[in-house]
Structures are given as C-alpha cells and as structure tokens.
Amino acid sequence: MANTNLRFRAATQDDISVLKQLIESAFRAEDSREGWVGNSQLAAQFSIEAKNIKSIIDNPESLFLMAGDANDTLLGTIGASKSSPNGARLFMFAVDPQCHRSGIGKQILTYAEDYCRREWGSKVLGLNALSNRENLISWYMRRGFQKTGVTTPFPLEEFKDLDLPDDLHFVEFEKAWTSSYDDNPATQPTTGACA
Ligand SMILES: CC(C)(COP(=O)(O)OP(=O)(O)OC[C@H]1O[C@@H](n2cnc3c(N)ncnc32)[C@H](O)[C@@H]1OP(=O)(O)O)[C@@H](O)C(=O)NCCC(=O)NCCS
C-alpha cells in the first residue's frame, strides 16, 4: 500500500473517456461492504453516456473534479453543479475500485464540499443515494449529510428483470453551513492509501 496525496483539478473534454471508464467501473464493481452496493445486478448495469459527461464539463456552472495521483492518473471523481445562488449538488461520485476503502472517497467529498463553498459560496449541498444502500447512507450521514425527508422515484419499470424492492427510491440528503468557507474551512483531509 502506498500513501496517495491526491491532486485535484477540473476535468476537460480530453478527460471524458477516462472519466466514463472510471465512473462505470466504480459503480459496477462488486463490494463486500454489506449494504454498500444495494443490488449487485442493478449496479452491474450502470452506464453513463459520454455526451452527458461532456454537457457537465461544458456548463460553466458544473464540473467534474478529478482526483489524481502525482502522475495525474485518475483515482476518483465527483460531479458538482451550482443549483441555486446558495446551493450546489454533488453526483457521480466514484473511486477506482482498486482504491476503495482507503480513505480516498472521504478526501474527495471533503474537497468537493470546500470547492462548492469557496468557488460558488454554497451554503447547502445536496446529493442522493438509493434507499437500499444502508451503509453508504450511514457513511454520508457520518460525513454530516442529513435526510431532507424528500424522496425521488426510481424507474423500477426499466428493470423488470431484476429482483428489486418494490419501494426502491432515492433518498435526498443535504449538508448545510451557517458560516462562510473563510470562517470555517473543512479540516485538512487525511492522506488516503491505495493498493
Ligand atoms: C462511494 C465511494 C466513492 C466511497 O469511496 P471509498 O474510497 O471506498 O470511501 P472511503 O475509503 O473514504 O470510506 C470507506 C468507508 O468504507 C467502510 N470501510 C472501510 N474499510 C472497510 C472494511 N475493511 N470493511 C468494511 N467496511 C470498510 C467504512 O464505512 C468507511 O467509512 P468510515 O471510515 O466512516 O467508517 C466508492 O465506494 C465508490 O466508488 N462506489 C461506487 C460508486 C458509488 O456508489 N457512488 C456513490 C453513489 S451515491
């Protein structure tokens, strides 16, 4: 295991194929953490279109943050968009499966929170997770995200061949700050380790 000091930058159009590859491999990966993936057959079907990644990169109010090693090899990413004057949303959060559980996810989330607060003045951050991913949900809650009480439907009709819970839905979360980033920056993230 080698320590990994992450280097962050915004993705450009040159990064679209490597982003697609990393996001799809992360979401499709098997993971023995109980309640982390939810349903592995559903996860295995995950895909994202290059044109959707491109539109996020092209939009001045959204981006993919790339977390790389010293050689700029991509280890993880997260999408962020400014959703209102005070709010931002995080999505497509993914870490290279070979690096899962090494603290890289925590570092990326902390960096993304800081980015939205510093660059966009965000006071509230939103994200969602599938309702059957209990441990992932607990992990977000340990990171300070709280359930808003709002849920978003999951398109069960598109996955009739899978054995999914009838009440599967997305759980919406928010994390809010009362002080500005300058008054209260996040603590320095710890260094992750990746095989
Ligand atoms: C979600 C994701 C980005 C997290 O990245 P990560 O690098 O694995 O996360 P971290 O290493 O920072 O956090 C690890 C958590 O896993 C758990 N964990 C770590 N080691 C573990 C082990 N040996 N056994 C069981 N659980 C373990 C712990 O809960 C730990 O959090 P804690 O320190 O607060 O207890 C990553 O799992 C991923 O890419 N998943 C696929 C895509 C996805 O589902 N994205 C989120 C959509 S909502």
Over residues 111-149, the pLDDT tens digits come to 999 999 999 999 999 999 999 999 999 999 999 999 999
Confidence (pLDDT) at 1: 37
Instruction: Say which residue, 83 or 190, is predicted with more confidence.
Output: 83
What ligand 1 atom has the least distance to the C-alpha of 78?
A: 3
Instruction: Say which residue, 103 or 192, is predicted with more confidence.
Output: 103
The pLDDT confidence band at residue 181, using thresholds 50, 70 and 90, is confident
Taking only Cα atoms into account, the Rg of the chain, rounded to an integer number of angstroms, comes to 16
With contact defined as beta carbons under 8 Å apart, do 12 and 57 qualify?
yes
Q: What is the pLDDT of residues 18-47, one digit of tens each?
A: 999 999 999 999 999 999 999 999 999 999
Number of H helices, E strands in the chain: 5, 9
Rounded to whole angstroms, the Cα distance separating 9 from 14 reads 13
Is the Cα dihedral 149, 126, 91, 100 positive or negative? negative
CA 157 to ligand 1 centroid distance, Å: 29
Q: Find out whether the beta carbon of 43 lies less than 6 Å from any atom of ligand 1.
A: no
Q: 2-194 domain in CATH 3.40.50.10320?
A: no
Flag whether pLDDT at 104 surpasses 60: yes
Give whole-number Cα distances, 129 to 99, 141, 143, 151, 172, in Å.
Answer: 21, 11, 14, 10, 7
The pLDDT confidence band at residue 187, using thresholds 50, 70 and 90, is low
Flag whether pLDDT at 2 surpasses 50: no
Confidence (pLDDT) at 102: 93
Q: What is the pLDDT of residues 44-90, one digit of tens each?
A: 999 999 999 999 999 999 999 999 999 999 999 999 999 999 999 99
User: How is the chain split into domains, by residue range?
Assistant: 2-194
Confidence (pLDDT) at 130: 98
Residue from 78, 100, 170 to probe ligand 1 pocket by mutation (most atoms less than 8 Å from CB): 100
Q: Find out whether the beta carbon of 129 lies less than 6 Å from any atom of ligand 1.
A: yes
Q: Find out whether the beta carbon of 145 lies less than 6 Å from any atom of ligand 1.
A: no
Rounded to whole angstroms, the Cα distance separating 1 from 192 reads 10
Confidence (pLDDT) at 191: 58
Give the rounded percent of residues in the chain with a pLDDT score beyond 70.
94
CA 6 to ligand 1 centroid distance, Å: 17
Q: 80-117 burial string, b = 16+ CB within 10 Å, else e?
A: bbbbeeebbbbebbbbbeebbebbbbbbbbbbbbebbb
Rounded to whole angstroms, the Cα distance separating 40 from 53 reads 24
For residue 31, the SS3 value is coil
Quote the distance between the C-alpha of residue 34 and its chain's center: 19
Flag whether pLDDT at 186 surpasses 80: no
> Which residue CA neighbors atom 25 of ligand 1 most closely?
33
Q: How many CB atoms lie within 10 A of CB 17?
A: 11
Confidence (pLDDT) at 47: 97
Residue 31, token pair as written in the block: 């993971």
Rounded to whole angstroms, the Cα distance separating 147 from 169 reads 13
Residue from 6, 20, 33 to probe ligand 1 pocket by mutation (most atoms less than 8 Å from CB): 33
Is the Cα dihedral 5, 57, 79, 37 positive or negative? negative
Flag whether pLDDT at 4 surpasses 80: no
